[in-house]
């Protein structure tokens, strides 16, 4: 048997023994030496648990309820902690989602790198150091000689993720588990990390399990893909087969998400609702937004895109009145908009609403949904008693939620449902303009698609104007009319969606667009080639 | 409510029974005590007997009756004092967290000054200035305990004010008081209640300590702290009577801690 890893009928449970929560309902996986298997699924599908189980490890409170995990002819289930420890780090390594949270902040990178080789007696400290520098160079980290002697906080997120991959390679393991290693990164950084991971895995012929919810990413990395749902395997096939010809309905629905586009409608020019002139804003001495001139057309969706730190959310805060600009002016229908929230009149407050990224923190956990929705209705429209109850029920229907949820608290709702309540709360004020701050980034793709469809429908029915802040360009392409590209607090480009996506003028916009992973296994290779080309042209 | 009590562990139930018994005794003191609070019923330091189950004190007052009235005075005053400290401290703490900026700085530095002086010495000093009386004592202890409550409420509220739902309420144009009462207070309530239990113990011991030193509750009012002091000499004769008020202080403290432990446990469970 050439199989490196064989998982048979693996079952995982948590909670009470008599009434357990089943996490994995008997999954089967096979992995050859040097093969990369992608595990795909929505949150709660059991991907991470399956990944950890491949190491013979279960999280606290989770236990193996049956099945077997055979790694190189050794049965891992039932091994003592000591025996597992000999394998972990040496022959099986793990790369976590957030490198920033997984490194020990008080130790230099290279000290953490050399721990495993020394512990397993693979290399001495000096050898490990030399090896680390060689790997850092292969991972294309800047300053490979020197970067290891920095502390984690002195290194950027994308570099940390590469350093962690290098660390996982330290003992040249046979198997590495990657748990969403690029989910927290910007697209332009993600492409570098993906490329580096793929090169190094290829070079050392390491087998890997690559866990992600992003189908485009997994299609770059994996030889085979396994789709999971609710702790069960839905479908497994080679990457190309899976992309070209998915067998199961569920897989097809996952694949279809990315093809969502707002229905074609007349694109006649619309009047301007909001105009920013020379808007400059910041926190204390740090200026975040530099002299922005922009327009937001009425009844349309304007998307603001950019990497983290580009000032997208700051712009939202300025419009909402939470952060008065230091200079410049914002006009609302050609009349100046009061910069300070405290001084805005009720009509202005009512007209500008926000929907937040995290549904968990945007709803007060101690209020029922009814309380959450009733307050803005009463405050802005003065409805009370029966009229109030009718309006609240109507709002629930507007966002496709069962009015029976009204007496629940946010903790009893799912992420997508909570986000719908957040939308209903914004609608309660009957506003003209809604700022949507990364409203779909925390959601699974199927759920996110539902939210996007809802927003598009609401815009059509109610004539709302949206400012859609996001780093996800696929979403932008799906729903935006107009796009503003921000970088380091300056506007790089603003134009209609078709102009931006069809014929970007600026190098940065091109780079941003090309960094968005496509559902094509050859995309990464091609994109890196184009990136090198761009760099070469910039250099000359 | 019933469901909640059923889920309580036996330790918390034991604590609640003790607390309830003490409160009931305190409230019903005139009905259940055999003699009056300050009534002299016999000679000094009489041993335990049928007429005086716990004997008499240094002035010939019935110990049992004074224990019962002591529950009313000590526990009642401790509740009042803690209540004042909490209302003021929690309000200021949440207010500082919400407003931040210079107001937060000023309030926090004032509280730092208050906390820099050891509480007992501060109390002695302040009581020496304003003179020992019950309202003064309540006021002084409340001021001292505003400081830790302020710090806790501010820290807990800090975690909440940054959350989006508070921002959403601000964008709605809600006033400061509504933000504090509706958005922030419910989310830090469990922390504050748990702290209330702990602080109540401290205040209660503090009153007992001040009374023992003679500047707390003034004679002839019965309270457990001064009863220990007044009868302390009996210990030298091998009589355990002065240990009974001391034991009552200990028992109530332990009971409250048991309840608080349970509440803290529940509060931390809810957060995760």
What domains lie within chain A, and their CATH numbers?
3-255 (3.40.50.300), 298-320+344-513 (3.40.50.300)
Statement: residue A397 has pLDDT above 80: yes
Assess B116–A contact: CB distance below 8 Å, yes or no: no
Of A349, A358, A364, the CB nearest to B173: A349
What's the pLDDT tens digit per position in A240-258? 888 888 888 888 887 776 6
Q: Give the largest Cα separation in chain B, rounded.
A: 73
User: Minimal Cα–Cα distance from B150 to chain A, Å?
Assistant: 22
What's the pLDDT tens digit per position in A35-85? 899 998 887 788 888 888 888 888 887 888 888 898 888 888 888 888 888
Q: How many residues does chain B have?
A: 272
What is the model's pLDDT at position A266?
53
Assess A181–B contact: CB distance below 8 Å, yes or no: no
* Pairwise CA distance, residues A515 & A530, whole Å: 10
CB contact under 8 A, A425 and B168: yes
> By CA distance, what is B179's nearest residue in A?
A364
Q: Is residue B24 part of a domain?
A: no
What is the model's pLDDT at position B267?
65
Cβ proximity of B198 and B262 under 8 Å: no
Q: Which is higher by pLDDT, A308 or A310?
A: A310
DSSP 8-state class, residue B184: I
* Pairwise CA distance, residues A43 & A249, whole Å: 18
Which of A267-276, A287-296, A380-389, B262-271 is the least confident region? B262-271
The two tokens of residue A383 are: 């409805």
Closest CA to A472 of A357, A362, A359: A357
Statement: residue A140 has pLDDT above 70: yes
Of A321, A362, A366, the CB nearest to B186: A366
Per-position DSSP letters for B108-143, written without gaps between them: HHHHHHHHHS-HHHHHHHHHHHH-S-HHHHHHHHHH
Secondary structure of A4-71 in HEC code, one letter for each residue: EEEEEEEEEEECCCCCCEEEEEEEEEEEECCCEEEEECCCCCCHHHHHHHCCCCCCCCEEEEEEEEEE
Q: Is residue B128 part of a domain?
A: yes
Phi, psi of B153 (to 5 degrees): -65, -40
Q: Is residue B218 part of a domain?
A: yes
- Burial of A237 (C-beta count, 10 Å sphere; 0-12/13-18/19+): middle
Mean pLDDT value across residues A360-372 = 90
* Pairwise CA distance, residues A482 & A502, whole Å: 13
Which of A347, A366, A423 should we substitute to test contact with B (largest number of B Cβ atoms within 10 Å)?
A366
Statement: residue A411 has pLDDT above 90: no
* Percentage of chain B exceeding pLDDT 70: 97
What's the pLDDT tens digit per position in A141-160? 888 888 889 888 888 888 88
| Site of tokens 């506003």 | A431
Cβ proximity of A50 and A27 under 8 Å: yes
CB contact under 8 A, A322 and B168: no
Statement: residue A232 has pLDDT above 90: no
Closest CA to B69 of B61, B58, B81: B61
Q: Is residue B33 part of a domain?
A: no
What is the model's pLDDT at position B268?
62
CB contact under 8 A, A361 and B186: no
What is the model's pLDDT at position B1?
65
Show contacts of A529-533: CB within 8 Å, 24+ apart: A531/A191
User: Minimal Cα–Cα distance from A360 to chain B, Å?
Assistant: 9
> By CA distance, what is B190's nearest residue in A?
A366
Statement: residue A184 has pLDDT above 50: yes
* Pairwise CA distance, residues B255 & B253, whole Å: 5
What's the pLDDT tens digit per position in B232-252? 888 888 788 888 888 998 898
Statement: residue A122 has pLDDT above 90: no
Cβ proximity of A89 and A39 under 8 Å: no
CB contact under 8 A, A341 and B164: no
Statement: residue B101 has pLDDT above 80: yes
Closest CA to A195 of A442, A517, A415: A517
What's the pLDDT tens digit per position in A208-227? 999 988 888 888 889 999 99
Q: Map residue A443 onto helix, strand or coil.
A: coil
Beta bridge partners of A62: A14
% helix / strand / coil in chain B, to the nearest 5? Answer: 75, 0, 20
What is the model's pLDDT at position A370?
93
Instruction: Give chain A's mean pLDDT.
Output: 87
Statement: residue A1 has pLDDT above 50: no
Which of B159, B160, B172, B184 should we substitute to test contact with A (largest number of A Cβ atoms within 10 Å)?
B172
Beta bridge partners of A21: A14
What's the pLDDT tens digit per position in A489-516? 899 999 888 888 888 888 888 888 888 8
Determine how β-strand A335-336 pairs with β-strand A327-332: antiparallel
Taking contacts as CB-CB distances below 8 angstroms, the residues of chain A near B174 are 379
Task: State which residues form the domain around B101.
Answer: 2-16+70-271
Phi-psi region at B58: left, alpha or beta (left = phi > 0; alpha = psi -120 to 50): alpha
Of A349, A364, A366, the CB nearest to B172: A349
Neighbours of A513 (CB within 10 A): 17
CB contact under 8 A, A321 and B187: no
Closest CA to B46 of B65, B62, B34: B62
Give me the sign of the Cα torsion angle A357, A359, A361, A362: positive
Q: Is residue B64 part of a domain?
A: no
Q: Which residues contact B35 (CB under 8 A, 6 or more apart)?
A: B41, B61, B62, B65
What is the model's pLDDT at position A268?
57
How many helices and strands, by DSSP H and E, does chain A display? 22, 20
pTM: 0.81
* Pairwise CA distance, residues A94 & A209, whole Å: 10
Mean pLDDT value across residues A9-33 = 85
Taking contacts as CB-CB distances below 8 angstroms, the residues of chain B near A364 are 165, 182-183, 186-187
* Pairwise CA distance, residues A29 & A36, whole Å: 12
User: Minimal Cα–Cα distance from B217 to chain A, Å?
Assistant: 41
Assess A283–B contact: CB distance below 8 Å, yes or no: no
Mean pLDDT value across residues A353-359 = 88
**Cα radius of gyration rounded to whole Å, chain A:** 25
Assess A375–B contact: CB distance below 8 Å, yes or no: yes
Q: Which residues contact A172 (CB under 8 A, 6 or more apart)?
A: A204, A206
At B272, the pLDDT band (50, 70, 90 cuts) reads very low
> By CA distance, what is A342's nearest residue in B?
B173
At A366, the pLDDT band (50, 70, 90 cuts) reads confident
Instruction: Give chain B's mean pLDDT.
Output: 86
Of B163, B172, B174, the CB nearest to A361: B163
* Pairwise CA distance, residues A49 & A61, whole Å: 12
CATH code, domain carrying B128: 1.10.3720.10
Q: Map residue A320 onto helix, strand or coil.
A: helix
* Pairwise CA distance, residues A419 & A398, whole Å: 13
What's the pLDDT tens digit per position in B21-64? 998 998 888 888 888 888 888 888 888 888 888 888 888 888 88
Mean pLDDT value across residues B132-157 = 92
What is the model's pLDDT at position A2?
56
Which of B165, B167, B179, B267 should we substitute to test contact with A (largest number of A Cβ atoms within 10 Å)?
B165
What is the model's pLDDT at position A373?
94
Total domains in chain B come to 1
What is the model's pLDDT at position B271?
38
Assess B165–A contact: CB distance below 8 Å, yes or no: yes
Beta bridge partners of A69: A7
User: Minimal Cα–Cα distance from B203 to chain A, Å?
Assistant: 30
* Pairwise CA distance, residues A196 & A531, whole Å: 14
Of A352, A362, A366, the CB nearest to B164: A362
Taking contacts as CB-CB distances below 8 angstroms, the residues of chain A near B167 are 322, 354, 356
Phi-psi region at A381: left, alpha or beta (left = phi > 0; alpha = psi -120 to 50): alpha
At A454, the pLDDT band (50, 70, 90 cuts) reads very high
User: Minimal Cα–Cα distance from B191 to chain A, Å?
Assistant: 14
Q: Is residue B240 part of a domain?
A: yes
Neighbours of B158 (CB within 10 A): 17
* Percentage of chain A exceeding pLDDT 90: 26
What is the model's pLDDT at position B148?
93
Residues 412-441 of A with CB under 8 A from B: 425, 429
Angle at B57 between CA B56 and CA B63, to 5 degrees: 60
What is the model's pLDDT at position B134?
87
* Pairwise CA distance, residues A499 & A73, whole Å: 57
Mean pLDDT value across residues A299-318 = 88
Q: Is residue B81 part of a domain?
A: yes
Half-sphere exposure of B92 (CA within 13 A, CB side): 23
Q: Is residue B35 part of a domain?
A: no
Mean pLDDT value across residues A420-448 = 89
What's the pLDDT tens digit per position in A251-294? 888 777 666 777 656 555 678 899 999 999 988 888 889 999 99
Assess B99–A contact: CB distance below 8 Å, yes or no: no
At B270, the pLDDT band (50, 70, 90 cuts) reads very low
CB contact under 8 A, B186 and A322: no
């Amino acid at each position: 048997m050439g199989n490196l890893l064989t998982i048979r009928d693996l079952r995982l449970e948590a909670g009470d023994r008599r009434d357990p929560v089943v996490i994995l309902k008997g999954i089967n996986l096979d992995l050859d030496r040097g093969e990369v298997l992608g595990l795909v699924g929505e949150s709660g599908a059991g991907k991470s648990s399956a990944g950890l189980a491949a190491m013979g490890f279960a999280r606290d409170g989770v236990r193996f309820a049956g099945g077997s995990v055979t790694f190189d002819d050794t049965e891992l289930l039932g091994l003592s902690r000591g025996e597992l420890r000999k394998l972990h780090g040496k022959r099986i390594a793990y790369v976590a989602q957030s490198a920033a949270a997984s490194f020990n902040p008080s130790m230099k990178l290279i000290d953490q790198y050399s721990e495993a080789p020394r512990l397993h007696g693979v290399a001495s400290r000096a050898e490990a150091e030399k090896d680390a520098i060689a790997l850092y160079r292969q991972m294309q980290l800047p300053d490979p000689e020197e970067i290891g002697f920095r502390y984690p906080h002195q290194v950027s997120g994308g570099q940390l993720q590469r350093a962690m991959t290098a660390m996982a390679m330290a003992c040249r393991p046979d198997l590495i588990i990657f748990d969403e290693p690029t989910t927290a990164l910007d697209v332009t950084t993600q492409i570098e990390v993906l490329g580096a991971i793929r090169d190094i895995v290829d070079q050392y012929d390491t087998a890997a399990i690559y866990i992600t919810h992003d189908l485009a990413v997994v299609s770059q990395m994996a030889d085979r893909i396994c789709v999971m749902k609710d702790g069960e395997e839905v479908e497994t096939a080679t990457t190309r087969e899976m992309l070209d010809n998915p067998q199961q309905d569920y897989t097809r629905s996952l694949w279809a998400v990315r093809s969502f586009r707002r229905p074609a409608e007349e694109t006649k020019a619309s009047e301007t609702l909001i105009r920013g002139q020379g808007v400059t804003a910041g926190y204390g001495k740090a200026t975040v937004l530099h002299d922005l001139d922009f327009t937001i057309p009425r009844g349309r969706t304007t998307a603001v895109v950019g990497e983290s730190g580009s000032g997208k959310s700051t712009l939202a805060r300025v419009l909402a009145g939470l952060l008065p600009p230091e200079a410049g002016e914002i006009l609302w229908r050609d009349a100046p908009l009061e910069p300070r929230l405290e001084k805005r009149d009720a009509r202005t407050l009512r007209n500008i609403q926000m929907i937040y990224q995290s549904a968990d923190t945007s709803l007060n956990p101690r209020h029922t949904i009814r309380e959450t929705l009733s307050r803005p209705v009463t405050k802005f429209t003065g409805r009370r008693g029966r009229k109030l109850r009718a309006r609240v029920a109507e709002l629930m229907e507007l966002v496709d939620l069962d009015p029976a949820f009204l007496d629940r608290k946010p903790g009893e709702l799912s992420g997508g449902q909570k986000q719908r309540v957040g939308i209903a709360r914004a609608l309660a004020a009957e506003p003209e303009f809604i700022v949507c701050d990364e409203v779909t980034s925390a959601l699974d793709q199927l759920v996110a698609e539902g939210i996007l469809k809802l927003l598009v429908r609401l815009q059509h029915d109610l004539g709302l104007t949206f400012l859609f802040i996001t780093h996800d360009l696929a979403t932008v392409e799906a729903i935006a009319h107009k796009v503003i590209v921000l970088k380091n607090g300056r506007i790089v480009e603003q134009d209609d969606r078709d102009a931006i996506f069809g014929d970007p003028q600026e190098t940065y916009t091109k780079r941003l667009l090309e960094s968005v992973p496509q559902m094509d296994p050859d995309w990464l290779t091609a994109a890196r080639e184009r990136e090198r080309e761009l760099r070469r042209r910039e250099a000359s | 409510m019933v469901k909640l009590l059923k889920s309580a562990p036996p330790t918390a139930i034991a604590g609640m029974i003790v607390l309830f018994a003490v409160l009931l005794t305190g409230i019903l003191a005139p009905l259940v005590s055999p003699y009056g609070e300050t009534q002299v019923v016999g000679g000094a330091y009489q041993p335990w007997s049928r007429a005086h189950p716990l004997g008499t004190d240094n002035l010939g007052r019935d110990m049992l009756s004074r224990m019962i009235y002591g529950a009313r005075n000590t526990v009642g005053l401790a509740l009042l004092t803690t209540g004042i400290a909490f209302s003021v401290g929690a309000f200021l703490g949440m207010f500082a967290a919400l407003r931040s900026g210079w107001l937060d700085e000023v309030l926090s530095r004032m509280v730092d000054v208050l906390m820099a002086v050891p509480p007992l010495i501060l109390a002695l000093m302040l009581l020496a200035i304003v003179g020992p009386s019950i309202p003064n004592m309540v006021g002084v202890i409340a001021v001292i305990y505003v400081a830790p409550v302020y710090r806790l409420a501010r820290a807990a509220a800090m975690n909440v004010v940054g959350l989006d739902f508070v921002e959403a309420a601000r964008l709605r144009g809600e006033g400061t008081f509504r933000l504090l009462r509706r958005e922030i207070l419910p989310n830090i309530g469990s922390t504050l209640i748990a702290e209330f239990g702990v602080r109540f113990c401290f205040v209660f011991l503090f009153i007992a300590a001040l009374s023992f030193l003679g500047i707390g509750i003034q004679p002839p009012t019965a309270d457990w702290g001064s009863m220990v002091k007044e009868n302390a000499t009996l210990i030298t004769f091998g009589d355990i009577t002065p240990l009974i008020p001391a034991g009552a202080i200990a028992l109530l403290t332990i009971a409250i801690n048991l309840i608080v432990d349970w509440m803290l446990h529940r509060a931390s469970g809810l957060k995760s």
